[in-house]
Chain A
Amino acid sequence: MTRTRTILFALGVAILALGAGVALRQVMEARTPSVVATDLGAPFELVDHDGNEITEAAFEGRPSLLFFGFTHCPEVCPTTVYDMETWLLDLDVGEGEIGAYFVSVDPERDTPQFLKDYLEPQSDRIIGITGEPEKVWDMARSWRVYWQKRPLGEGDYTLDHYASIFVLDPEGRVVDLIGYGEDPESAKAKIADVLG
């Protein structure tokens, strides 16, 4: 952790994000049923995986699941997509009842088409969000999501990234978190809760 911390301080951005994640988690673990973090998220103008404009309005009017990841991720992201789809099928959640979003924190590689080709075979309802890199990163920062590039030789890289799913109420506020590797029953209970 020490070395990582130093890098984070140098970057100046992420330590706040990490702290927010931990604090948020502690609140979540107390299972407070109320809205816990109204200050997460900011208005944005990005594109979905069909190339259509998408804004924060997408998170309003129905509950949403919001995840930040990238397609070059070997495990956490494909597992999260797989699990989200499986939970929603298990719960028999209808098409329009919940929004499910996968924001790429790797917008340089994850073009809308790339996201579409990645997500559509896995799920009919999980919508990819990407766009101009700086705008995407601003949006991710507004959710205090941590990510960090890590080189893998030959100019390739991977990303360390925050791996929990935000559960949003119909006003777009975070009411819960689903951790990576969380028990499916607990994850489904959180989704059922927000669906009311």
Chain B
Amino acid sequence: MTRIFALLLVTVCPAYADIAHGDLQISLPMLRDTPPTAPVAGGFMTIANMGDADDVLTTATIDADFVGEVQLHKMEMEDGVMKMSEVEGGIAVPAGETVYLQPGGLHLMLMGLSEPLTAGEAYEMTLTFAEAGDVVVEFPVLTLGEIRATLEEAGTMDHGMKGHGEDATQTGN
């Protein structure tokens, strides 16, 4: 444990450039590292729609054969209970709006992992949008500490914690 925390302190989060794809701008792509046997993992990013046509993220696939599939999920806290479900019909990215996939809210859910995701690795994901089509984005694997630091630095943390209700009066460190 100690070693992991020491590493965490010295690791600088890799800066990944924003990806422009038509009217969409994708930033802060991240996957969360997993304990060795965890069968699932979360993926996050920010999608800004600069155009004047609505779009929808319909599917995501990952270039890693040890992952069963990627689903689009939402998570909500209600009376202290965590509820998670697939987002039916995909994740809407309305014209002129920014959608945040972050811990505590919308996320990509990697299912059926037969190997862990290790911080420092990166995987390509193909994101398919109803209007904008396919875009390939590289997702670095970060620790939870790095993900929190990245979001804090980007100043977008609050968006992801929406829907946490009374439990979310504070965000993580």
Contacts and interface: CB of A to CB of B under 8 A. Distances in A.
Interface of A: 1, 4, 18, 21-22, 25, 71-76, 78-79, 81-83, 85-86, 89, 114, 117-119, 121-124, 146, 150, 152-153, 156, 158, 160-164, 177, 179-184, 186
Interface size class of B (residues with CB under 8 A): 35 or more
A180 B164 contact: yes
B168 A71 contact: no
Interface of B: 1, 5, 32, 34-42, 71, 73, 75, 77-86, 103-104, 107, 109, 111-112, 144, 161, 164, 166-173
Contacts of A186: 170
Contact of A75 (B80, B104, B171): B104
Q: Which 5 A-B pairs have the closest CB atoms?
A: A183-B170, A179-B167, A117-B37, A160-B83, A163-B82
B167 A152 contact: no
Given A74-B41, A118-B38, A152-B111, A164 B80 contact: yes
A71 B39 contact: yes
B82 A160 contact: yes
A133 B119 CA distance: 34
19 contacts: A4-B83, A74-B84, A75-B75, A75-B104, A76-B75, A78-B32, A85-B1, A89-B5, A117-B36, A119-B35, A121-B35, A122-B1, A122-B35, A124-B1, A150-B84, A180-B164, A183-B169, A183-B171, A186-B170
B40 A25 contact: no
Contacts of B39: 71-72
Majority SS at the chain A contact face: mixed
B172 A179 contact: no
Contact of B80 (A72, A123, A162): A162
Contact of B167 (A18, A73, A146, A181): A181
A22 B79 contact: yes
A146 B77 CA distance: 13
Given A79-B103, A181-B104, 8 more contacts: A22-B79, A152-B86, A153-B71, A163-B77, A180-B77, A180-B80, A180-B167, A184-B173
